[in-house]
Structures are given as C-alpha cells and as structure tokens.
Structure 1
Amino acid sequence: MPLFYDYKRSILGDVEYEANQSIPVLNWLRYRQVAKAAGRDADREAMQADLQAITDAGFLASADSMNSFWTTYQRALDLWYGDWCTAKQIPGLIERVRGGAYVEVNEIFAEFAKLAHVRGNFILVPRYLPSGYTRSRSMNTLRGGFRSKWRDYWDLTLVGIKTGEFDEFFKRSPQHPEFDLDAQGGFDGYIDRNDLDMYVDTHGSVKPLWPGHLDEGAKALSQSKEDVMHFVENACSVIREREHRLAA
C-alpha cells in the first residue's frame, strides 16, 4: 500500500471515501458504522498477514489502533458543546455533522481522522485462551474498555507494559517471540522491535500525549480543550513519524 494509505478507504469504497473528504471526520464515522455492520476492522485487515503468522505458530493476537479516535472525539464534543454521544448514536451524529454541526471540533480532528487508520497507528497486541475457557482474553479489549484505567490511550498503555500491568499477556510461557518481552530485552527491546521510539524520550521514559497525562493521580480522559488539542497534535505527530519509519 502507498504511504499513509487510509484503510477506511478499502471498507467504504473509493466513491464514498472521496465524497466525504471535505469533512474527514465523516469518513471515520461512516467507517465505524459500515465496518461494524460488515464485521470488518481496518487494523485487522491491514495486519492480516502478521496475524496469520502468529496463528500459524499456535498463538493468538489482535490488531489494535494505538491512538483511539473515538475516545477523544467523543470527549471533545462534550467539552465544546456539552454533547455526549455513544457509539449507538453515531447514525444521528453523522446526520448532524452533514448538516453543519460541530465545525470547530471537526476541523481540529480533520487530520487525525485521516491518520487514525494508517499503518503507522496499528500494532499487534497479545491475547490468550485461559485454561478451561472457550473465549480468549484480549489486551486490546482490556485497555480499551469504557471503565478501563487506560481508556485506549497508548501512552498509558506503554506505561502499563513497562510497569508490568499487562504481564498476564506478555509473561506467558510459552510465548510468541513477537510478545516475549524477556527475550526482547524488556521494555526497551519492545520499543525497538515495534518502532515505537517516538513515544519515549532519550531516557526511555514514556512521553505523555498531553501535558500532565502521566502524572500521578491524573485522569485518563482529557479534562480541557487544551488537553484535546495537545493530544490531537501529538497523536498525529507520532503516527506520521512511525508511518515513515515502517516504510523505510
């Protein structure tokens, strides 16, 4: 695929994708609607070969979008307009956006809407089948849940990986080399293997996606318009940098 290929295009089709380009957020919202109905995921389709290789080796994994669009867009609608929209309300949200609502927020999120489903925002994360269960346990689901302490933010997730909060996924034995932190040399090796150095500083500490996000006692969700704008700027920056890195 070309650099910065938006995998939403493959699900929406060229005609609809191009028709929504004047308001890129519409492509994200329509993708969410269409993909859910069709049982498709852009990240899974983009990383299908990698997922298959792990499955063929006898392990389980999920494709994940590191920087969630919906979590912060949803929060922005609340901070700017006092509107809280759930995923079930996306059809109505689409109609309001088409009617000219939420212009300021949609302009702030325009670039992120285009970058949310490029390869530079995708990564494989481990899952496993607990003994005696028929349903797998997924790191993707755990970190992205509505009541999750990580709330689908990749800086918080990286801190969790570094401090051992996800050891149930990474410290299993046997483990696929993709997720074997010990064999990779720990957290620093994980960063190197996955081309994630743009998320850490020169000392190996995780960089916050907005000022104060990783401070002790800080809320997982953005608390101000400034937090939202810092997040969008920083998320777009790391996605762009990683996209180039993966293509090198």
Structure 2
Amino acid sequence: MKLQLIRNATLKLDYAGRTVLIDPYFAPKHSQPSFAGRSPNPLVELPVSIDKILDGVELVIVSHLHEDHFDEVAMEHVPKHMPIICQPGDEAEIRGAGFTEVSPLTDMATWEGLTLTRREGSHGLGPVLEEMGSVMGFSLEAAGEPSIYWAGDTVLYPPVTDVIRATSPDILITHSCGALWNGDLIVMNAEETIAVCEIAASSLVIATHMEALDHATIGREGLRRAAEARGIPASRLLIPADGEVLVLTRSATH
C-alpha cells in the first residue's frame, strides 16, 4: 500500500488496488479564519495541486464536517458522483451539497474488496464536546494489505485503547498536533501519541494533522524529541511531511 499525507488530516491511500481520499481539505493558505488568534488558517499551502490529489480517487471518506476536514473548496472540486462514506448524521448535509452517492458508516461496510468498520472517537472530553460534536474513526482491512486503524479527531480515551487492544492494527494513524479549543485538548498531543505507541506495541504509528492549523500546540520536531526521550524510535513512529509518500507492506510494519 501507499499512503500520502497531503496536509492536516487529508490522506490519499492506494490500498488493495483502490485509491481512497480521507478528509479532503483544499483551502488555500490563510484563506480561513484563525482558531486561536495567532494566524489565519491553513498555515501552509497544499503540497500538490488539487487535480493531482484527486487523480485516480475512487472513494472519499469524511470523518466529520469541521471545515478542516471537508471544506467548501473540496466540496467544489470533488466530483458530485464520487462515492462518499461519512459518519451517521452527516449524510443529509453532504447530499445537500449535491453529492449523490453518500453512505453513512453505521457499523461495518464493504466496498470493492475493502472492509471498513466505524470506530468511536471523542473530540475532547467534557463540556467542549458540545461545541466539537460527534466524530468517527475507522478500521480498514483488505486481503494482502496491512490492517489500518485511523483514529481521527480524538483524544486518547478508553474506546480508542479498547480498539487498539482488540484489533492490534498493523498501522495506526493518529492526529497528534495537541490542538486546543478554549484551553481544552481536542486531539492527541505528544504525551497521548507516545502512550498510543506504548499501548500499540506491535503497530506502526503514523502521526498526522500537524503544522497546518493555528490552534496546534506541538509540531513534528517537538513530537519527535518527546518520543525519542521516551524510547520510541523513529522506526516505530513515523511523522511524515506534507506531500510525503510512505510505501508500506504487512511485513514492513512489524
């Protein structure tokens, strides 16, 4: 399989002969409001053109409808006939934007040889959830490919730990920028990402959703230093740059 980090949470997967795009966020640099009062968002441009990102894409997965996961620019460019899988409750809004093949992932679904399983996420803990709303992660499996657990916009809390222990994914993808909303942590920070590496001792962890938004509290180098200080080597925690392509096999993840 090939995994390309585009920017923020946006990933392009070549997996079991299919090409999947996750959480397309195509806004130009500084075209959206600040989240933390430090800078307009996003902080960086896309590393490749939108046409190149969409080239070959057969399925789009949208974890939730925050503007940094499926923005207006992406809605304009993703073809309206493109199959989209989303969390339950978001399908009406996506269909309202003109998309015709929208399927909520209520539990488990199969698509062209891929098996997707919805996973719970918590975009923070406590009162902040009223503002953040619901999110989902998912597991992805196919014959001959590494199993993937894409945790999504979630903090580390018991349901995430339970999925890791129950499924032992070959690849575990985290959102690790330590974003804060009014002082509350809403995605994993360095400490929680390191804890994931320790819990998922047999998984390759890939940290994404970094250095793109102004409410982040940790960058790539800071996460790398913190992980190395805890004995997590670079071979177990990958922190790709925007645009970087990772080629991964089942054997290479162990």
Give the alignment's TM-score, normalised by structure 1: 0.29
In the superposition, the TM-score normalised over structure 2's length comes to: 0.28
Greater share of strand residues, 1 or 2?
A: 2
